[in-house]
Amino acid sequence: MYKVFVGGLPFSTTDDELKELFSAHGAVASATVVRDRDSGRSKGFGFVEFENDEEGKAAEKALNGTEIGGRSISVAEARPREERPRQ
């Protein structure tokens, strides 16, 4: 599995739209737009997981810096999540 971070998404982007965008570059296992826990509004970023590392890297290279809904997105390999204490 190869997971990429996608930043700079328009706040209206849905999980399905994110999956559709990245599916053009390979087999997407999952695509999730991160939402605020309380309001449910998009935080403007998400994650896409590819079944194949090469396809994930190709999508990262192809889509980084492209414009979606008037915003330039950034795509990079996702780093492992850091555990933070709940506030």
What pLDDT does residue 86 have? 67
pTM, rounded to two decimals: 0.88
Task: Decide which of 80 and 67 is more confident.
Answer: 67
**Phi and psi for 45 in degrees, rounded to 5?**
-150, 165
CA pair distance 33, 48, nearest whole angstrom? 9
Enter the DSSP assignment of 65: T
Torsion sign, CA atoms 86, 44, 23, 78: negative
pLDDT by residue (tens digit) across 33-70? 999 999 999 999 999 999 999 999 999 999 999 998 89
pLDDT by residue (tens digit) across 3-41? 999 999 999 999 999 999 999 999 999 999 999 999 999
Which domains are seen in the chain, by residue range?
2-77 (3.30.70.330)
pLDDT confidence bin for 85, thresholds 50/70/90: confident
- First vs last Cα of the chain: how many Å apart? 31
Tell me the pLDDT of the chain averaged across its residues: 92
